Structure 1
């Protein structure tokens, strides 16, 4: 069963549903069946350590070091 993202045309809520092919999906907020299927985000490739390192590099380029420890800030600022 695939997991889909939907937006309800009636109430505007966005949500995920696990849908079988024979099932008509309905909004969990207002029970409307007029839904727009959205493009689902995929999980990023790579390990979590690689993602953390990439995020830190991007933050460092912008001058944000608040998420680093004092020891890590000393290493980066050199």
Structure 2
């Protein structure tokens, strides 16, 4: 049970660090909590978006195409 919990925790934090560079940002006061919430929400939406691409590629595609961004934002599974 404990190993399973830490496995989930480590995978989430690793994904946030790699995809969103969370460790490199310096935020003060409530900004860290706010950005963490937004990053976790965005990561969840990207994971549930039906594409075989990596998280990084999905982020780039959303930045390049408004249609892809709209389809990611309209995912209702998260």
Name the structure where strand makes up a greater proportion of residues. 1
Please indicate, yes or no, whether the TM-score normalized by the shorter chain is above 0.5.
Answer: no
Report TM bin, short chain: under 0.3
Structure index of larger Rg:
1
More helix per residue:
2
